[in-house]
Each structure stands twice: as C-alpha cells, then as structure tokens.
Amino acid sequence: MTPMDNRYRVIHADGREGDPIGSSELHRLVLDGKILPETLLLDCATQQQIRADAHPSLVVLFRRMGIAAPAPLPEPPSPAPAVPPPPSLDIPPPATNSWQADRLRLKRWLGVFFLVWLTGAGLWLLGANTPNLIEGGDTALAQTITTIGVTLFLSAIVPYVVSLVFAYRVQDKLNRAGLYRWGAWHVLVGGLILNPWGLGFLLPTRVLLTANKIERAERRGAPGSGKAL
C-alpha cells in the first residue's frame, strides 16, 4: 500500500484525533480549508505523524492552491559566551588598623609638622632681620612677625609628637609582620634624644620612606617583597 492509499487521522489543534480517512477525503478537507500545510496527520498503518505538506498528494494540492506552509519561526540567537570581567586594577583601601593606614596618617601629620615648622622658622627669621633688610622699618611690625614665627615654630612640637607616635606604630607593625627587621623602640628613644626642632624630623621621615618602599614592592608583587628589610 502506497502512502497515498493509507488511511490517516487528522490531529486537531486540541490534540483530538479524527476518524480514519483516505486520500480523497483528505483532499476535500484541504479544499474546505480544514487541513492546512502545518496540520498533523497520523498514519494509521505506521502510527507515525507527518505534516500535511509532507503527504505526497497533498503537497501537490497545496501548490496548486497557492498555499505555502508558514515560515518557521527563527531560532532565538544563541547567548553570547559569558566573558569574565577584566581584573580590577583598583587597589582596596587599607584596613583601619593596618600599617598602610598608619603610614597615610604619618604622611599627613609629618606634612603638617613641616608646614608649621618651616613657616614658623621663616617668619621668625624675617621678623628678626626686618630692621636690617629695611632701613627705618617698623619695629612693632617686626616684633609681631617675630612673635608669630616663634609661636608657630614652638607649636610644631604638636604635629611632631603625633608623627612620632604614628612612626612608632608603623615600624612596630612592619616588624611584627616580618617586613622590617628593626623594632620600634628606637623611634621613641631617638625622638626623645634628638631635638624636635632640629634633627628630630629624620626619624619619622625615615620610617615613612621605608614604609613607602615596602608598599611599592608589595604592589608590584616583586619577589622577596615580603622579606624583612
């Protein structure tokens, strides 16, 4: 028996199967518009489902009637492969109690010390030499400048002490972390021995430069950056 002699059941949109019918009845249903190219037919002999436009005689009939099967829906584009985000170049902020955070505090306070110290020294020298620089200069003005300069120069002890405290904290944490071989005790001893208005600034400055060097080495990930200096 050829495919055109087989009997078929029409499968309706709701899934119901019609009674077995032959090719002539299929043709009539096509002409009546009750079978479309995409309608499913169940072959009673093979129990296989086919589209109506796959039936040998119906496909010819569809062509004669100028009926074409609806174009299949385009397949959705396949999702693009997930691209991992580039590694972030942002450097996380240092922890509040880390040596990096204390290094930043040391840097700020040491800057305040130098600003107050140098400004005071400059005004002190300017006021003291005003009568020599300007003949007949106002001595009251020179005295005022000198007083302001001396006050600033002496008040530099405040940011100096704060800088010394943070220098001690930075060096102590570096030593505990194994990043610096010397302990922090000599920072305080040296700060007490040296004149804070003279060479005392060398101690916190040296600690700051050492901490900067260690941090640069850690950022570059240089070999041996974790070894004690």
Confidence of residue 94 (pLDDT cuts 50, 70, 90): low
User: What one-character-per-residue DSSP string does 96-123 give?
Assistant: TTSHHHHHHHHHHHHHHHHHHHHHHHHH
Name the phi and psi angles at 9, rounded to 5: -110, 135
Q: 114 burial class (0-12, 13-18, 19+ CB within 10 angstroms)?
A: middle
| pLDDT given at position 85 | 67
Confidence of residue 197 (pLDDT cuts 50, 70, 90): low
In this predicted structure, the answer to whether residue 3 has a pLDDT above a threshold of 60 is: no
Q: What is the pLDDT of residues 137-192, one digit of tens each?
A: 567 877 888 899 889 888 888 888 888 888 888 888 888 877 777 777 777 777 77
Q: What is the pLDDT of residues 55-78, one digit of tens each?
A: 888 878 888 877 765 555 456 666
Contacts of 164 (CB under 8 A, 6+ apart): 187, 188, 191, 200, 203, 204
Of 31, 95, 99, the closest CA to residue 66 belongs to 31
| pLDDT given at position 119 | 92
Cα–Cα distance for residue pair 59/61, rounded to 1 Å: 5
Helices (H), 134-222: 139-155, 157-176, 185-193, 202-220
Q: What is the pLDDT of residues 106-141, one digit of tens each?
A: 889 989 988 988 898 888 888 777 766 666 556 787
| pLDDT given at position 66 | 74
**Helix 157-176 and helix 185-193: axis angle, to 10°?**
160
Q: Let me know: does 158 contact 197? Beta carbons within 8 Å.
A: no
Tokens 């249903």: give the residue. Answer: 29
The C-alpha torsion from 114 through 118 and 120 to 125, rounded to 10°, is 170
Position with higher pLDDT, 136 vs 32: 32
Pairing of strands 8-11, 49-51: unpaired
Helix (H, G, I), strand (E, B) or coil at 124: helix
